[in-house]
Structure 1
């Protein structure tokens, strides 16, 4: 777990983002836990959801208040997108489900950012473990991931 956190730290610093990683004893495994731990709304949690398009990882960074519409993700990428099982997520990203960060992946993913995050500041994202998160903004997330803001919310 420490290696994953350090991978996130290195990726943040390499992208010119401040090291805002913090540990939370209460845990940040779910968006609700993360919001309670860091003291923000669930919507301000930038959760990282990994899908797969064949062998290619697809990372959707979504508001903790939203569910993701896989069809919208597929349409935005022009690819069929499927659920990814936890073992595949860990093997491809280097993170366990619950601690998947938006940066520091072993395999570079295609990235979409939930447009609902654009109006929220600050945001908190997982930092490689279910006990660590980092503070950021939507603009910084888009910049450090190369992601595209899209409507990915299920209605």
Structure 2
């Protein structure tokens, strides 16, 4: 299990400051893994429906964060509608990294460099807790979807 640096990641710092309960769930990341989210689910012994990936999307030219189960795919049209936009396209990985301060495969929806509109898939509400990236590969955070 990876160790946390003193102070944690921006995500753990933000959650702690906000007084939000969470559990750090670490695992040994395999750089050859085809899917970071499915790797996390398998390594942590959690159903893929409870592990959520963070995607950065350009909606009418503005970045938006989409948090969706790793077992599914993002519906770009539905996301655009959810934020009152017309057109959505996946952000370039380098753009996502610059905007969030995290590396692809470790982008957390929490503690990003800049605040962006954020949409959480409603399926998250079917679970008492979900897992999202904790800010680096091999580190997830378990917390209530609310």
Query: TM-score range, shorter-chain basis?
Result: 0.7 to 0.9
Contact 2:58 2:90 in 1 (8 A): yes
Q: With structure 2 as the length reference, what TM-score do the two structures score?
A: 0.85
Relative to the length of structure 1, the TM-score reads: 0.80
Q: Which residue number in structure 2 is paired with residue 11 of structure 1?
A: 14
Distance 2:61 2:97 in 1: 13
Higher helix share: 1
For residue 11 of structure 1, give the secondary structure of its aligned residue in structure 2.
helix
| Corresponding residue for residue 23 of structure 1 | 26
Question: Are 1:134 and 2:141 an aligned pair?
Answer: yes
Aligned length: 138
Written as runs of structure 1 = structure 2, the 5 A alignment for 1:1-155 is 6-26=9-29, 30-53=36-59, 56-79=62-85, 80-139=87-146
Aligned residues: CA RMSD: 2.2
Confirm or deny: 8 A CA contact 1:23 1:133 kept in the other structure: yes
**Cα gap change, 1:82/1:113 in structure 2, threshold over 3 Å: closer, same or farther?**
same
How far apart are residue 44 of structure 1 and its match?
0.4
Judged with a 3 Å threshold, the aligned counterparts in structure 2 of structure 1 residues 50 and 71 are, in CA distance, closer, same or farther, namely same
Q: Is the CA contact (8 Å cut-off) linking 2:124 and 2:145 kept in structure 1?
A: yes
Q: Aligned residue for 1:147?
A: none
User: Where do 5+ consecutive residues of structure 2 fail to align?
Assistant: none
Give the secondary-structure state (helix, strand or coil) at the position aligned to 1:138.
coil
Q: Tell me if the contact between 2:25 and 2:44 (Cα under 8 Å) persists in the aligned partners.
A: no
Q: 2:58–2:89: 8 Å Cα contact kept in structure 1? A: yes
Q: Structure 1: which 5+ runs fail to align? A: 140-155
Runs of 4+ in 1 over 3 A off after TM superposition: 26-29
